Structure 1
Protein backbone atom coordinates (compact mmCIF):
# COMPACT_ATOMS: atom_id res chain seq x y z
CA UNK A 1 0.00 0.00 0.00
CA UNK A 2 1.27 3.46 -0.91
CA UNK A 3 0.40 6.54 1.15
CA UNK A 4 1.31 10.16 0.42
CA UNK A 5 1.09 13.21 2.67
CA UNK A 6 1.64 16.80 1.52
CA UNK A 7 1.17 20.18 3.14
CA UNK A 8 0.16 22.02 -0.01
CA UNK A 9 -0.01 25.50 1.60
CA UNK A 10 -3.12 26.37 -0.37
CA UNK A 11 -4.54 23.64 -2.58
CA UNK A 12 -5.89 25.98 -5.25
CA UNK A 13 -2.44 27.50 -5.71
CA UNK A 14 -0.77 24.09 -5.65
CA UNK A 15 -3.10 22.77 -8.36
CA UNK A 16 -1.73 25.53 -10.60
CA UNK A 17 1.81 24.35 -9.80
CA UNK A 18 1.58 20.66 -10.72
CA UNK A 19 -0.44 19.04 -7.93
CA UNK A 20 -2.56 16.95 -10.27
CA UNK A 21 0.44 15.72 -12.24
CA UNK A 22 2.12 14.48 -9.06
CA UNK A 23 -1.14 12.98 -7.79
CA UNK A 24 -1.62 10.96 -10.97
CA UNK A 25 2.05 9.95 -11.10
CA UNK A 26 1.95 8.57 -7.55
CA UNK A 27 -1.27 6.59 -7.99
CA UNK A 28 -1.40 6.30 -4.19
CA UNK A 29 -3.93 4.26 -2.28
CA UNK A 30 -4.28 7.11 0.21
CA UNK A 31 -3.31 10.71 -0.51
CA UNK A 32 -3.51 13.17 2.39
CA UNK A 33 -3.18 16.94 2.22
CA UNK A 34 -2.89 19.64 4.84
CA UNK A 35 -3.37 23.41 4.69
CA UNK A 36 -5.96 23.19 1.94
CA UNK A 37 -6.95 26.82 2.75
CA UNK A 38 -10.38 26.62 1.17
CA UNK A 39 -14.06 26.11 1.87
CA UNK A 40 -16.56 23.68 0.45
CA UNK A 41 -17.33 24.39 -3.20
CA UNK A 42 -14.17 26.42 -3.86
CA UNK A 43 -12.42 23.65 -5.78
CA UNK A 44 -13.42 20.67 -7.87
CA UNK A 45 -10.87 17.87 -8.13
CA UNK A 46 -11.93 14.97 -10.30
CA UNK A 47 -9.67 11.96 -9.99
CA UNK A 48 -12.28 9.58 -11.28
CA UNK A 49 -14.38 6.99 -9.52
CA UNK A 50 -11.28 5.37 -8.03
CA UNK A 51 -11.02 7.95 -5.23
CA UNK A 52 -13.37 8.94 -2.48
CA UNK A 53 -12.81 12.43 -1.05
CA UNK A 54 -13.10 13.54 2.57
CA UNK A 55 -12.60 17.15 3.64
CA UNK A 56 -12.31 18.96 6.95
CA UNK A 57 -12.67 22.70 6.35
CA UNK A 58 -11.66 25.35 8.84
CA UNK A 59 -14.32 27.81 9.95
CA UNK A 60 -11.92 30.65 9.16
CA UNK A 61 -11.73 31.25 5.42
CA UNK A 62 -8.39 30.67 3.70
CA UNK A 63 -6.95 28.92 6.73
CA UNK A 64 -5.75 25.42 7.67
CA UNK A 65 -7.91 22.50 6.49
CA UNK A 66 -7.20 18.85 5.68
CA UNK A 67 -8.36 16.31 3.12
CA UNK A 68 -7.92 12.65 2.22
CA UNK A 69 -8.32 11.04 -1.19
CA UNK A 70 -8.72 7.29 -0.83
CA UNK A 71 -9.11 4.24 -3.02
CA UNK A 72 -10.25 2.31 0.05
CA UNK A 73 -13.74 2.71 1.41
CA UNK A 74 -13.54 3.72 5.09
CA UNK A 75 -15.70 2.11 7.73
CA UNK A 76 -16.05 5.49 9.44
CA UNK A 77 -14.76 9.05 9.21
CA UNK A 78 -14.13 11.40 12.14
CA UNK A 79 -13.47 15.15 11.98
CA UNK A 80 -11.98 15.95 15.38
CA UNK A 81 -10.47 14.57 18.58
CA UNK A 82 -12.90 14.45 21.50
CA UNK A 83 -15.85 15.49 19.37
CA UNK A 84 -16.66 14.96 15.73
CA UNK A 85 -15.77 18.57 14.99
CA UNK A 86 -12.56 20.58 14.75
CA UNK A 87 -13.03 24.32 14.08
CA UNK A 88 -9.62 24.73 12.45
CA UNK A 89 -10.05 21.66 10.24
CA UNK A 90 -6.81 20.13 11.45
CA UNK A 91 -7.68 16.45 11.79
CA UNK A 92 -9.27 13.70 9.73
CA UNK A 93 -9.49 10.09 10.91
CA UNK A 94 -10.48 7.30 8.54
CA UNK A 95 -11.12 3.84 9.94
CA UNK A 96 -10.39 0.83 7.75
CA UNK A 97 -10.63 -2.90 8.43
CA UNK A 98 -7.11 -3.32 9.79
CA UNK A 99 -5.96 0.21 10.73
CA UNK A 100 -6.82 3.82 11.40
CA UNK A 101 -5.43 6.61 9.22
CA UNK A 102 -5.08 10.01 10.87
CA UNK A 103 -3.95 13.05 8.90
CA UNK A 104 -3.15 16.14 10.91
CA UNK A 105 -1.97 19.73 10.62
CA UNK A 106 -0.52 20.44 14.07
CA UNK A 107 -0.94 24.00 15.39
CA UNK A 108 2.07 26.27 15.00
CA UNK A 109 3.38 27.89 18.19
CA UNK A 110 3.92 31.12 16.17
CA UNK A 111 7.18 32.99 15.78
CA UNK A 112 6.77 34.81 19.11
CA UNK A 113 5.66 31.55 20.80
CA UNK A 114 2.35 33.19 21.72
CA UNK A 115 0.54 29.96 20.89
CA UNK A 116 3.02 27.59 22.52
CA UNK A 117 0.90 26.92 25.59
CA UNK A 118 -2.09 26.07 23.41
CA UNK A 119 0.12 23.92 21.19
CA UNK A 120 1.43 21.87 24.14
CA UNK A 121 -2.07 21.31 25.54
CA UNK A 122 -3.26 20.29 22.07
CA UNK A 123 -0.36 17.81 21.80
CA UNK A 124 -1.45 16.08 25.01
CA UNK A 125 -5.02 15.69 23.76
CA UNK A 126 -3.83 14.46 20.38
CA UNK A 127 -1.49 11.88 21.94
CA UNK A 128 -4.26 10.58 24.18
CA UNK A 129 -6.52 10.29 21.14
CA UNK A 130 -3.96 8.29 19.18
CA UNK A 131 -3.30 5.97 22.10
CA UNK A 132 -7.03 5.38 22.40
CA UNK A 133 -7.25 4.48 18.71
CA UNK A 134 -4.16 2.28 18.97
CA UNK A 135 -5.93 0.28 21.65
CA UNK A 136 -8.48 -0.77 19.03
CA UNK A 137 -6.31 -1.34 15.96
CA UNK A 138 -2.97 -0.09 14.54
CA UNK A 139 -2.68 3.58 13.58
CA UNK A 140 -0.89 5.41 10.77
CA UNK A 141 -0.46 9.14 11.40
CA UNK A 142 0.67 11.56 8.73
CA UNK A 143 0.93 15.27 8.23
CA UNK A 144 2.68 18.47 9.13
CA UNK A 145 3.57 17.98 12.80
CA UNK A 146 5.27 21.39 12.93
CA UNK A 147 8.33 20.15 14.83
CA UNK A 148 11.83 19.13 13.86
CA UNK A 149 12.29 16.26 16.28
CA UNK A 150 16.07 15.84 16.43
CA UNK A 151 19.05 17.98 15.52
CA UNK A 152 19.53 15.84 12.41
CA UNK A 153 16.09 17.01 11.26
CA UNK A 154 17.06 20.67 10.90
CA UNK A 155 19.90 22.36 9.04
CA UNK A 156 20.99 24.86 11.69
CA UNK A 157 20.10 23.22 14.98
CA UNK A 158 22.12 25.43 17.32
CA UNK A 159 20.89 28.67 15.78
CA UNK A 160 17.26 27.53 15.82
CA UNK A 161 17.04 26.01 19.28
CA UNK A 162 14.17 27.67 21.12
CA UNK A 163 12.51 28.89 17.92
CA UNK A 164 8.96 27.85 17.05
CA UNK A 165 9.05 24.27 15.82
CA UNK A 166 12.33 23.54 17.58
CA UNK A 167 11.66 24.39 21.20
CA UNK A 168 12.61 21.86 23.84
CA UNK A 169 8.94 21.67 24.83
CA UNK A 170 7.71 20.76 21.34
CA UNK A 171 10.47 18.22 20.82
CA UNK A 172 9.67 16.65 24.18
CA UNK A 173 6.05 16.23 23.11
CA UNK A 174 7.27 14.30 20.09
CA UNK A 175 9.41 12.15 22.37
CA UNK A 176 6.36 11.40 24.50
CA UNK A 177 4.26 10.54 21.45
CA UNK A 178 6.82 8.07 20.16
CA UNK A 179 7.28 6.60 23.65
CA UNK A 180 3.52 6.00 23.73
CA UNK A 181 3.89 3.29 21.11
CA UNK A 182 4.62 4.91 17.76
CA UNK A 183 7.54 4.99 15.34
CA UNK A 184 8.85 7.68 13.00
CA UNK A 185 8.85 5.57 9.83
CA UNK A 186 11.52 7.59 8.00
CA UNK A 187 13.98 7.52 10.90
CA UNK A 188 13.20 3.84 11.48
CA UNK A 189 14.56 3.07 8.02
CA UNK A 190 17.15 5.85 7.78
CA UNK A 191 18.32 6.74 11.31
CA UNK A 192 21.46 8.58 10.17
CA UNK A 193 20.39 10.20 6.92
CA UNK A 194 21.29 13.89 6.98
CA UNK A 195 19.95 16.81 4.95
CA UNK A 196 16.56 15.12 4.55
CA UNK A 197 14.08 17.96 4.85
CA UNK A 198 10.44 18.55 3.96
CA UNK A 199 10.03 22.31 4.52
CA UNK A 200 12.04 25.36 3.51
CA UNK A 201 11.58 29.04 4.23
CA UNK A 202 10.50 31.21 1.30
CA UNK A 203 13.56 33.39 1.75
CA UNK A 204 15.76 33.61 -1.38
CA UNK A 205 18.01 30.62 -2.20
CA UNK A 206 17.02 28.72 0.97
CA UNK A 207 15.52 25.75 -0.85
CA UNK A 208 18.25 25.76 -3.47
CA UNK A 209 20.82 25.43 -0.69
CA UNK A 210 18.64 22.88 1.14
CA UNK A 211 18.53 24.88 4.37
CA UNK A 212 15.45 23.09 5.61
CA UNK A 213 13.52 21.36 8.35
CA UNK A 214 11.94 17.90 8.48
CA UNK A 215 8.51 18.60 9.97
CA UNK A 216 6.30 16.35 7.82
CA UNK A 217 5.99 12.76 8.98
CA UNK A 218 4.48 9.34 8.72
CA UNK A 219 4.24 7.79 12.16
CA UNK A 220 2.89 4.29 12.76
CA UNK A 221 2.03 2.02 15.64
CA UNK A 222 5.12 0.12 16.78
CA UNK A 223 3.61 -3.22 15.80
CA UNK A 224 3.50 -2.10 12.17
CA UNK A 225 7.30 -1.74 11.95
CA UNK A 226 7.83 -5.16 10.30
CA UNK A 227 5.37 -4.13 7.57
CA UNK A 228 7.17 -0.90 6.58
CA UNK A 229 8.84 -1.33 3.19
CA UNK A 230 9.80 2.25 2.28
CA UNK A 231 9.59 5.81 3.57
CA UNK A 232 10.86 8.74 1.59
CA UNK A 233 10.77 12.50 1.13
CA UNK A 234 10.07 13.73 -2.40
CA UNK A 235 12.10 16.89 -2.06
CA UNK A 236 12.26 17.38 -5.83
CA UNK A 237 8.52 18.07 -5.98
CA UNK A 238 7.71 21.79 -6.02
CA UNK A 239 4.38 23.58 -5.69
CA UNK A 240 4.50 24.36 -1.96
CA UNK A 241 7.02 25.39 0.68
CA UNK A 242 6.64 21.78 1.86
CA UNK A 243 7.29 18.70 -0.23
CA UNK A 244 5.40 15.38 -0.14
CA UNK A 245 6.40 12.48 2.08
CA UNK A 246 5.63 8.90 1.16
CA UNK A 247 5.12 5.64 3.04
CA UNK A 248 4.90 2.16 1.56
CA UNK A 249 3.65 -0.52 3.92
CA UNK A 250 2.31 -4.06 3.63
CA UNK A 251 -1.10 -3.57 5.16
CA UNK A 252 -4.59 -4.06 3.76
Structure 2
Protein backbone atom coordinates (compact mmCIF):
# COMPACT_ATOMS: atom_id res chain seq x y z
CA UNK A 1 0.00 0.00 0.00
CA UNK A 2 1.35 3.42 -0.88
CA UNK A 3 0.26 6.62 0.84
CA UNK A 4 1.03 10.05 -0.61
CA UNK A 5 0.78 13.58 0.66
CA UNK A 6 0.81 16.45 -1.82
CA UNK A 7 0.17 20.17 -1.42
CA UNK A 8 -1.49 20.74 -4.78
CA UNK A 9 -1.60 24.56 -4.39
CA UNK A 10 -4.97 24.96 -6.10
CA UNK A 11 -6.81 21.94 -7.46
CA UNK A 12 -8.53 23.93 -10.19
CA UNK A 13 -5.23 25.24 -11.51
CA UNK A 14 -3.65 21.78 -11.22
CA UNK A 15 -6.52 19.58 -12.43
CA UNK A 16 -4.81 18.36 -15.60
CA UNK A 17 -1.54 17.70 -13.81
CA UNK A 18 -3.35 15.88 -10.99
CA UNK A 19 -5.29 13.68 -13.40
CA UNK A 20 -2.09 12.74 -15.23
CA UNK A 21 -0.25 12.14 -11.97
CA UNK A 22 -2.99 9.85 -10.64
CA UNK A 23 -2.91 7.84 -13.85
CA UNK A 24 0.88 7.60 -13.75
CA UNK A 25 1.55 6.96 -10.05
CA UNK A 26 -1.66 5.09 -9.19
CA UNK A 27 -1.59 5.94 -5.47
CA UNK A 28 -3.65 3.87 -3.06
CA UNK A 29 -4.23 6.88 -0.80
CA UNK A 30 -3.37 10.51 -1.44
CA UNK A 31 -3.91 13.47 0.89
CA UNK A 32 -4.21 16.75 -1.03
CA UNK A 33 -3.55 20.02 0.76
CA UNK A 34 -4.37 23.60 -0.17
CA UNK A 35 -7.05 22.62 -2.67
CA UNK A 36 -8.41 26.21 -2.55
CA UNK A 37 -11.93 25.12 -3.53
CA UNK A 38 -15.25 24.25 -1.95
CA UNK A 39 -16.56 20.76 -2.67
CA UNK A 40 -18.92 22.05 -5.37
CA UNK A 41 -15.96 23.80 -7.04
CA UNK A 42 -13.85 20.65 -7.42
CA UNK A 43 -13.26 20.22 -11.18
CA UNK A 44 -15.44 17.60 -12.81
CA UNK A 45 -12.33 15.91 -14.19
CA UNK A 46 -11.32 15.12 -10.60
CA UNK A 47 -14.76 14.74 -9.00
CA UNK A 48 -15.76 12.10 -11.53
CA UNK A 49 -12.46 10.26 -11.84
CA UNK A 50 -13.00 6.53 -11.49
CA UNK A 51 -11.32 4.17 -9.07
CA UNK A 52 -11.34 6.34 -5.95
CA UNK A 53 -13.56 7.32 -3.06
CA UNK A 54 -13.19 11.06 -2.61
CA UNK A 55 -13.58 13.16 0.51
CA UNK A 56 -13.32 16.95 0.75
CA UNK A 57 -13.04 19.54 3.48
CA UNK A 58 -13.31 22.51 1.14
CA UNK A 59 -12.47 26.17 1.56
CA UNK A 60 -15.71 27.32 3.16
CA UNK A 61 -13.76 29.28 5.79
CA UNK A 62 -12.56 31.69 3.11
CA UNK A 63 -13.08 31.47 -0.65
CA UNK A 64 -10.03 30.12 -2.48
CA UNK A 65 -8.15 29.44 0.77
CA UNK A 66 -6.83 26.31 2.43
CA UNK A 67 -8.92 23.12 2.01
CA UNK A 68 -7.90 19.45 2.01
CA UNK A 69 -8.95 16.38 0.09
CA UNK A 70 -8.49 12.64 0.40
CA UNK A 71 -8.62 10.03 -2.37
CA UNK A 72 -8.82 6.36 -1.37
CA UNK A 73 -8.61 3.60 -3.95
CA UNK A 74 -11.84 1.62 -4.36
CA UNK A 75 -11.77 -1.73 -2.58
CA UNK A 76 -8.78 -0.85 -0.41
CA UNK A 77 -10.76 -1.21 2.81
CA UNK A 78 -13.83 -3.25 3.62
CA UNK A 79 -14.96 -0.74 6.19
CA UNK A 80 -13.68 2.84 6.41
CA UNK A 81 -15.19 6.26 6.79
CA UNK A 82 -13.92 9.83 6.73
CA UNK A 83 -14.74 12.74 9.01
CA UNK A 84 -13.76 16.29 9.86
CA UNK A 85 -12.45 16.28 13.46
CA UNK A 86 -13.81 18.71 16.06
CA UNK A 87 -10.53 20.63 16.40
CA UNK A 88 -10.39 21.53 12.69
CA UNK A 89 -9.97 25.20 11.81
CA UNK A 90 -9.92 26.85 8.37
CA UNK A 91 -10.79 23.57 6.59
CA UNK A 92 -7.42 21.97 7.27
CA UNK A 93 -8.08 18.40 8.38
CA UNK A 94 -9.60 15.08 7.33
CA UNK A 95 -9.55 11.84 9.32
CA UNK A 96 -9.88 8.43 7.66
CA UNK A 97 -10.80 5.70 10.10
CA UNK A 98 -9.83 2.40 8.51
CA UNK A 99 -9.48 -1.05 10.08
CA UNK A 100 -5.66 -1.10 9.95
CA UNK A 101 -5.02 2.50 11.04
CA UNK A 102 -6.39 6.01 11.41
CA UNK A 103 -5.02 8.43 8.85
CA UNK A 104 -5.01 12.16 9.57
CA UNK A 105 -4.54 14.40 6.57
CA UNK A 106 -3.49 17.91 7.56
CA UNK A 107 -2.56 21.31 6.20
CA UNK A 108 -1.04 23.04 9.22
CA UNK A 109 -1.47 26.84 9.27
CA UNK A 110 1.58 28.71 8.06
CA UNK A 111 1.37 31.17 10.93
CA UNK A 112 2.32 34.49 9.36
CA UNK A 113 1.59 37.34 11.75
CA UNK A 114 1.12 37.11 15.51
CA UNK A 115 -2.58 36.24 15.36
CA UNK A 116 -2.21 33.42 12.85
CA UNK A 117 0.92 32.13 14.57
CA UNK A 118 -1.20 31.66 17.68
CA UNK A 119 -3.75 29.77 15.53
CA UNK A 120 -0.93 27.53 14.31
CA UNK A 121 0.31 26.66 17.79
CA UNK A 122 -3.24 26.03 19.03
CA UNK A 123 -3.95 23.79 16.03
CA UNK A 124 -0.78 21.77 16.62
CA UNK A 125 -1.68 21.37 20.31
CA UNK A 126 -5.20 20.21 19.45
CA UNK A 127 -3.84 17.83 16.81
CA UNK A 128 -1.44 16.35 19.34
CA UNK A 129 -4.26 15.80 21.86
CA UNK A 130 -6.37 14.12 19.18
CA UNK A 131 -3.53 11.76 18.28
CA UNK A 132 -2.87 11.01 21.96
CA UNK A 133 -6.50 9.93 22.35
CA UNK A 134 -6.20 7.62 19.34
CA UNK A 135 -3.06 6.05 20.76
CA UNK A 136 -4.79 5.57 24.10
CA UNK A 137 -7.46 3.61 22.23
CA UNK A 138 -4.74 1.35 20.81
CA UNK A 139 -5.01 2.76 17.29
CA UNK A 140 -2.17 2.87 14.79
CA UNK A 141 -1.84 6.34 13.24
CA UNK A 142 -0.58 7.91 10.02
CA UNK A 143 -0.22 11.70 10.09
CA UNK A 144 0.29 12.99 6.56
CA UNK A 145 0.41 16.50 5.24
CA UNK A 146 2.04 19.89 4.92
CA UNK A 147 3.31 20.58 8.43
CA UNK A 148 4.62 24.06 7.56
CA UNK A 149 7.57 23.50 9.89
CA UNK A 150 11.13 22.57 8.97
CA UNK A 151 11.89 20.47 12.01
CA UNK A 152 15.70 20.66 12.14
CA UNK A 153 18.55 22.59 10.54
CA UNK A 154 19.02 19.87 7.95
CA UNK A 155 15.42 20.36 6.77
CA UNK A 156 15.96 23.83 5.31
CA UNK A 157 18.58 25.09 2.88
CA UNK A 158 21.23 27.20 4.58
CA UNK A 159 20.34 30.19 2.36
CA UNK A 160 16.92 30.34 4.08
CA UNK A 161 17.84 29.23 7.57
CA UNK A 162 17.06 32.57 9.22
CA UNK A 163 16.43 32.64 12.98
CA UNK A 164 12.91 33.74 13.80
CA UNK A 165 11.48 32.99 10.36
CA UNK A 166 8.02 31.43 10.32
CA UNK A 167 8.42 27.68 10.06
CA UNK A 168 11.73 27.69 11.93
CA UNK A 169 10.79 29.10 15.34
CA UNK A 170 11.60 27.12 18.49
CA UNK A 171 7.94 26.95 19.65
CA UNK A 172 6.64 25.40 16.43
CA UNK A 173 9.56 23.01 16.14
CA UNK A 174 8.96 21.98 19.73
CA UNK A 175 5.27 21.43 18.94
CA UNK A 176 6.19 19.01 16.14
CA UNK A 177 8.72 17.38 18.45
CA UNK A 178 5.93 16.74 20.94
CA UNK A 179 4.01 14.88 18.24
CA UNK A 180 7.00 12.63 17.65
CA UNK A 181 7.40 12.11 21.39
CA UNK A 182 3.97 10.50 21.39
CA UNK A 183 5.60 7.64 19.47
CA UNK A 184 5.38 8.83 15.88
CA UNK A 185 8.24 8.29 13.44
CA UNK A 186 9.32 10.92 10.92
CA UNK A 187 9.88 8.04 8.56
CA UNK A 188 11.29 9.91 5.55
CA UNK A 189 14.00 11.46 7.71
CA UNK A 190 14.65 8.26 9.63
CA UNK A 191 15.40 6.45 6.39
CA UNK A 192 17.51 9.36 5.12
CA UNK A 193 19.20 10.59 8.32
CA UNK A 194 22.10 12.48 6.74
CA UNK A 195 20.60 13.63 3.43
CA UNK A 196 20.97 17.42 3.41
CA UNK A 197 19.18 18.20 0.14
CA UNK A 198 15.95 16.34 0.90
CA UNK A 199 13.38 19.10 0.31
CA UNK A 200 9.69 19.09 -0.59
CA UNK A 201 8.85 22.80 -1.06
CA UNK A 202 10.65 25.63 -2.81
CA UNK A 203 9.92 29.37 -2.57
CA UNK A 204 8.82 31.33 -5.58
CA UNK A 205 12.24 32.73 -6.29
CA UNK A 206 13.97 32.63 -9.65
CA UNK A 207 15.72 29.25 -10.03
CA UNK A 208 15.10 28.32 -6.37
CA UNK A 209 13.78 24.91 -7.36
CA UNK A 210 16.44 24.34 -10.00
CA UNK A 211 19.09 25.10 -7.37
CA UNK A 212 17.20 23.07 -4.74
CA UNK A 213 16.95 25.96 -2.27
CA UNK A 214 14.11 24.32 -0.42
CA UNK A 215 12.46 23.21 2.79
CA UNK A 216 11.28 19.77 3.96
CA UNK A 217 7.83 20.55 5.35
CA UNK A 218 5.66 17.83 3.75
CA UNK A 219 5.82 14.77 5.98
CA UNK A 220 4.46 11.36 6.89
CA UNK A 221 4.58 10.41 10.56
CA UNK A 222 3.79 6.80 11.56
CA UNK A 223 3.33 4.89 14.79
CA UNK A 224 5.73 2.05 15.68
CA UNK A 225 3.92 -0.91 14.17
CA UNK A 226 3.38 0.88 10.86
CA UNK A 227 6.93 2.24 10.75
CA UNK A 228 8.13 -1.34 11.04
CA UNK A 229 6.23 -2.23 7.88
CA UNK A 230 7.69 0.52 5.69
CA UNK A 231 9.41 -0.84 2.61
CA UNK A 232 10.29 2.49 1.04
CA UNK A 233 9.78 6.25 0.95
CA UNK A 234 10.13 8.79 -1.84
CA UNK A 235 9.91 12.45 -2.81
CA UNK A 236 8.49 12.72 -6.32
CA UNK A 237 10.84 15.36 -7.73
CA UNK A 238 9.66 14.70 -11.28
CA UNK A 239 6.23 16.21 -10.52
CA UNK A 240 6.75 19.97 -10.75
CA UNK A 241 3.28 21.37 -11.37
CA UNK A 242 2.99 22.62 -7.77
CA UNK A 243 5.56 24.39 -5.59
CA UNK A 244 5.46 21.25 -3.42
CA UNK A 245 6.55 17.74 -4.41
CA UNK A 246 4.44 14.69 -3.55
CA UNK A 247 5.90 12.57 -0.74
CA UNK A 248 5.08 8.89 -0.24
CA UNK A 249 5.56 5.89 1.97
CA UNK A 250 5.17 2.26 0.92
CA UNK A 251 3.69 -0.08 3.52
CA UNK A 252 3.80 -3.88 3.44
CA UNK A 253 0.51 -4.67 5.15
Distance 2:150 2:159 in 1: 9
- The answer to whether 1:47 aligns with 2:49 is yes
1:78 alignment partner, one of 52, 74, 83: 83
Aligned to 2:13: 13
The question of whether the paired residues in 1 share the 8 Å contact of 2:94 and 2:106 is answered with: yes
Counterpart mapping for 1:100-115 below 5 A: 100-110=102-112, 112-115=113-116
Change in Cα spacing, 1:12 to 1:131, as seen in structure 2 (3 Å) is: same
Structure 2 residue runs of 5 or longer lacking an equivalent are none
Aligned to 2:23: 24
Change in Cα spacing, 1:170 to 1:211, as seen in structure 2 (3 Å) is: same
Q: How many aligned positions are there?
A: 245
Mean CA deviation greater in 165-174 or 115-124: 115-124
Change in Cα spacing, 1:157 to 1:221, as seen in structure 2 (3 Å) is: farther
Counterpart mapping for 1:219-234 below 5 A: 219-234=221-236
Mean CA deviation greater in 18-27 or 240-249: 18-27
| 1:23 alignment partner, SS class | helix
| TM-score calculated relative to the size of structure 1 | 0.92
How far the C-alpha of 1:98 sits from its partner, in A, is 1.3
Aligned to 1:3: 3
**Aligned alpha-carbon RMSD (Å):** 1.5
The question of whether the paired residues in 2 share the 8 Å contact of 1:99 and 1:138 is answered with: yes
The question of whether the paired residues in 1 share the 8 Å contact of 2:159 and 2:213 is answered with: no
| TM-score calculated relative to the size of structure 2 | 0.92
- The answer to whether 1:168 aligns with 2:167 is no
The question of whether the paired residues in 1 share the 8 Å contact of 2:153 and 2:161 is answered with: no
| 1:142 alignment partner, SS class | strand
| 1:132 alignment partner, SS class | helix
Superimposed CA distance per residue, residues 64-89 of structure 1 (whole angstroms, 9 cap, x where no aligned partner)? 0011110134522211244xxx4511
Aligned to 1:147: 149
How far the C-alpha of 1:47 sits from its partner, in A, is 2.5
How far the C-alpha of 1:228 sits from its partner, in A, is 0.9
Moved over 6 A (4+): none
